Amino acid sequence: MQHRIKLLKTSEVYEKLSSSTVKLIDVRCAEAYNGWCLKGERRGGHIPSAKSLPFKWIRYIDWPDILQSKGIEPENELIVYGYNIDESEMVADHFLRIGYQKIALYNDFVKEWCTNPQLPLNRLARYRQLVSASWLDQLLSTGSAPHYDSQRYVLVHAFYRDQSIYDSGHIPGAIAMDTNQLESTQTWNRRSPSELKIALEKAGITSDTTVILYGKFAYPDKNDPFPGSSAGQLAAMRSAFIMLYAGVKDVRLLNGGMQSWTDDGYEITSEPAHPQPVGDFGVSIPHHPEFAVDISEAKQILKSKDKNLVCVRSWNEYIGETSGYNYIQKKGRIPGAVFAECGTDAYHMENYRNLDHTIREYQEVESMWAASGILPHVHNSFYCGTGWRASEAFINAWLMGWSDISVFDGGWFEWSSDSNNPYETGIPIKPLF
């Protein structure tokens, strides 16, 4: 490297943990940050307060915007660490080139920090349910992978309506699953227990099957009457929620969807994989009825002081500038709903995703929610227009280990269809006291 960068000892890093001006930068992949042990380390996770900034992101033209969104400022003292010393140095050098001056390297994370149980590590509560492309490749190639102990698995390529999304290329061994198999084409709500039982059994899924879901990213087609709905990772999230509701015990998501698979250089195929139907799902559906609420329960949530009905929609939908959908006429929001903005519109989830479509660093989502009063000790029921974005927010909370969560399945579509239901528009007026 052209610049001399200070190397810190483990004791020096530990002493700086309480400093508000110090930013630790974890350059490993998101899965390692979340908790997976990928290089033989004794303990998985990340140093408390560390920001996730995977090495591959330095190739992105939006890198400065990523730093700003994570609150990593030039005046901060940065400590860069990871698995690979060369990668850490390249990231540090990248910071120097754009004007960051106070940078140090910590190269003993695996050797010293992970081996000392007295040193703190944080991790995503259900990190095992968020898998990497390399983990999936190992499972497909050998039938075995870390933290996989089921008798069988099913890999699911989720999409909405358009079979060509699957036919044009998918991960080898993945079966096709149209979300219409799991939700009503009229109401967008989850299908009845008997219908879900049939759909899951036809797909070869029982309650004991490990199911790995992913989607294929596609830009919305504005000429489509349902633009963006086939943009797969949302379809995967929606399917994952419904499967958890039904009673599948081991639901996993390929973090970043098919984008992660192709980013890592793995091949895709157009050869279809055919489901192997099973005789019985194994438990009564829904096995987790508490995960879904309908409109009467949503109204009770609004009356409760220790429950939140959480609106996972865009700001323009929330204030009534747009309904968000060309098949929903009424514009506005449910009075009393707590706002948890999704992103730019009804078909994007930028506030819950990284640029590579992996799930956003969980502490950042927690912080965003906390600012709106969305906290883990109260019941939070997520809703959006038709349940898709709400399902992704639900999955985020579920991965964090939040226990008292649900999806108001009908969302704005069902609420707004009844003229007797109240609604609001405009910017909410906050009380003075």
Catalytic residues: 384
- The DSSP-derived string for 171-228 is -TTPEEEEGGGTB-TTT-SBPPHHHHHHHHHHTT--TTSEEEEE-------TTSSSTT
Residue carrying structure tokens 């909410």: 428
Count of helix runs (H) and strand runs (E) in the chain: 14, 15
Contacts of 406 (CB under 8 A, 6+ apart): 290, 291, 292, 293, 379, 380, 381, 382, 394
CA 270 to mean position of chain CA atoms: 27
CA distance 71 to 74: 10
> Does residue 236 contact residue 243 with C-beta atoms inside 8 Å?
no
- Phi and psi at 113, nearest 5°, equal -65, -45
Q: Across-strand partners of 293?
A: 408
CA distance 407 to 398: 11
